[in-house]
């Protein structure tokens, strides 16, 4: 398992990796799952440990639908790279345990630091637990709720940056994200993109 932050897709050069962060959330995760299902798309869900623990049924739905799990820590602390190694370890390992328990034993295959706050230590720790450090190339900026049209044009415009696209299914009203995915997934397919998972 490499400690390098991955962006590439296992489906090759003309593919994208859809990644969905900060959930699971009882309102938005089911809607995201529905639009993924409608388009036959598999994605990677970067989950926050306590939310996985609170909503194990959603975690199991994500796994049952063929999506992959990613450890997105316990507290979503975007300054965790400035904190002691013991803290980083607790954030990563406790969330791994919470997500794995909620899923019924399916382990997260990736680790994404909140806000990209990776350290050499955290990358190595995650990799030693079988979790490939996962970055992104295209930030859809859906978190800021700029409107679904803006989310769509950001993704379309920045796709040349690379294959891994960041969306969110929690942390506030994510109806714009769901709306944008309804348009973007068929558009990506029309452009000839395959949908893959990040390389491990």
- Select 39 or 90, whichever has its Cβ closest to Zn ion: 90
Q: HSE-up of 94 (CA within 13 Å, CB side)?
A: 15
Instruction: Name the one residue in this structure whose structure tokens are 């975007």.
Output: 78
- Active-site choice (21, 71, 142, 169): 21
- Active-site choice (55, 67, 76, 168): 168
The answer to whether 18 and 41 are in contact (CB under 8 A) is yes
67 is catalytic: no
Sequence-distant (6+) residues with CB within 8 A of 197 are 9, 10, 11, 17, 42, 44, 68, 109
Residue numbers at the binding site for Zn ion (CB under 5 A): 21-22, 114
Minimum distance from CB of 91 to Zn ion (Å)? 12
- Select 73 or 103, whichever has its Cβ closest to Zn ion: 73
142 is catalytic: no
Minimum distance from CB of 25 to Zn ion (Å)? 12
- Select 169 or 179, whichever has its Cβ closest to Zn ion: 169
Dihedral sign for Cα 170, 117, 109, 103, please.
Answer: negative
Minimum distance from CB of 27 to Zn ion (Å)? 17
Minimum distance from CB of 166 to Zn ion (Å)? 8
Sequence-distant (6+) residues with CB within 8 A of 147 are 176
- Select 21 or 179, whichever has its Cβ closest to Zn ion: 21
Give the distance, in angstroms, between the CA of residue 131 and the centroid of all CA atoms in the same chain: 13
List the catalytic residues.
21, 168
């Amino acid at each position: 398992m490499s400690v390098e932050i991955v962006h590439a897709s296992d489906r090759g050069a003309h593919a994208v990796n859809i990644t969905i962060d900060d959930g699971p959330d009882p309102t938005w995760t089911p809607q995201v799952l529905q639009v993924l299902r409608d388009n036959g798309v598999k994605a990677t869900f970067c989950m926050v440990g306590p939310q996985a623990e609170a909503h194990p049924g959603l975690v199991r739905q994500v796994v049952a639908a063929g999506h992959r799990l990613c450890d997105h820590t316990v507290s979503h602390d975007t300054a965790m790279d400035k904190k002691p190694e013991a803290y980083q370890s607790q954030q990563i390992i406790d969330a791994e345990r919470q997500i794995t328990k909620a899923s019924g034993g399916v382990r997260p295959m990736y680790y994404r630091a909140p806000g990209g706050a990776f350290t050499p230590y955290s990358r190595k720790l995650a990799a030693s637990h079988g979790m490939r450090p996962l970055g992104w190339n295209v930030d859809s900026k859906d978190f800021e709720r700029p409107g679904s049209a803006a989310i769509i044009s950001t993704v379309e415009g920045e796709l040349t940056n690379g294959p891994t696209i960041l969306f969110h299914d929690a942390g506030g009203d994510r109806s714009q994200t769901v709306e944008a995915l309804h348009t973007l997934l068929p558009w990506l397919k029309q452009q000839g993109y395959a949908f893959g998972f990040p390389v491990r």
